[in-house]
Amino acid sequence: MKRSIMILGAALLCGVSVQAQNGPWSLQDCIDYALEHNLTVQQSALAVEQREVELNSAQNRRLPALSASASENLSFGRGLTADNTYSNSNTTSTSFSLGGEMPVFQGFDIANGIKLGKLNLAAATADLEKARDDIRVAVAQAFVQILYNQELLRVAREQSSHDEELLEQIRERLDAGKVSAAEVAAQQATLAQSRQSEIQAEGNLNIALLDLTQLLELPSPEGFSIVTPEVGDPSQTLLMRPEAIYAEAVEVKPSVEAAKLNVDYAELAITRAKGAYLPSISLSGGLGSNYYTNSKFDSQSFGEQLKNNFSQYIGLSMNVPIFTRFNTRNNVRNAELSYKGQQIQLENVKKSLYKEIQQAYYNAVASQGRFAGSRESAESARLHYELTEEKYRVGKAGVAEYNDARNNWLRAESEHIQARFQCLYQTKLLDFYRGRDLQF
């Protein structure tokens, strides 16, 4: 039965995995799936739940504590009797008690603890959103890398097919006595090189697919594919200045929000530490009774003794700290140092964010220029390659010249493709810093 359940569970899991990988995935599909299944995001979500539990515990400190106890004692030999004499006898004693305690004043420790718990929860929520932002960026990078490698593979396959057709034409010219066998061998080497480039491009694409599926926590990249978006000319996108982007980003980025909350937490921790200088007051109360027997004396019944021995108490206690070996003073000092450290950390987070935005901005500017330049370079290299190919077909250019033109065109085309998708990613990344969704 257990084995059948395991087999059924495995089949269901496989069915879910297959279903999850059916059809091409858009960037939004990938991001949504990663946000739900990525383990790093799940860990951050668990941290939020832990902070919720901690906040609930802090709030429950206001409630009274209630406990009950019962004991049974049996003694042998010489002992104290009810008339305050000693004799050899066997005695039993049974007692019951119910007690409670409620804090009245704890130097505002409970109230401050609740405030700290709320700040902790808010900070953990901001950290969760930061983890979500990080996975969005990572997925977008992996998605762009797949698009780039897909284009390289397409170019490599087209070149392999082209070189194969050209080899057949050269063989026909060899049969007609118009070229030497060396030309055929040279073209065979060229074709082998094209196929090798195709194999390399396919391997790079498979690695890119694996990287993305691992971010999505999919079991395998088999059957996984993405939607190729319609991409316009990213070099025409108008870019905001980094100062303007930063002004928006500092208000919306969760990393800054988490750092601000940590500052608030550290500031409140100082107040909580100072609360240890104040006295604490507690209210307590309880109920109790007992039952006693002695082998040499007659005892009242169990019910009568419980009734006669029934007692109640209520008490109010105050604890005033006088000298705590400087623990409270040092705790306050540590809290103040932590506050200063969190202030510095907030400035570091803001500074790092501004640096990231500046770098992303200048990367976007450079990628736009590179995209425009690589487009012209690729077009020129393609025209030169086509002209050289025509000359090669009619015997006016050698194989070395043809291969040089071909390699220059492939290199220029590869750089143009890379510049295109890099420009697309960098321009969209600037919008992401402003709180926009990452969409192509």
pLDDT given for residue 439 in this prediction: 77
The first and second tokens of residue 61, run together, are: 């400190």
Tens of each residue's pLDDT in the chain, 440 residues: 344 433 334 433 444 443 345 679 999 999 999 999 999 999 999 999 999 999 999 999 999 999 999 998 888 777 666 566 777 777 788 999 999 999 988 889 999 999 999 999 999 999 999 999 999 999 999 999 999 899 889 888 888 888 888 888 878 878 877 777 887 888 888 889 889 999 999 999 999 999 999 999 999 999 899 988 876 676 667 788 999 999 999 999 999 999 999 999 999 999 999 999 999 999 999 999 998 887 777 778 888 888 889 999 999 999 999 998 999 999 999 999 999 999 999 999 999 999 999 999 998 999 888 888 888 888 999 899 889 888 877 778 777 787 788 888 888 888 888 888 888 888 889 989 988 887 77
* Mean of all residue pLDDT scores within the chain: 86
CA 313 – CA 417 distance, rounded (Å): 84
CA 384 – CA 409 distance, rounded (Å): 8
Whole-prediction pTM: 0.79
Cα separation of the two ends of the chain? 50
Domains and CATH numbers, the chain: 25-63+106-278+321-433 (1.20.1600.10)
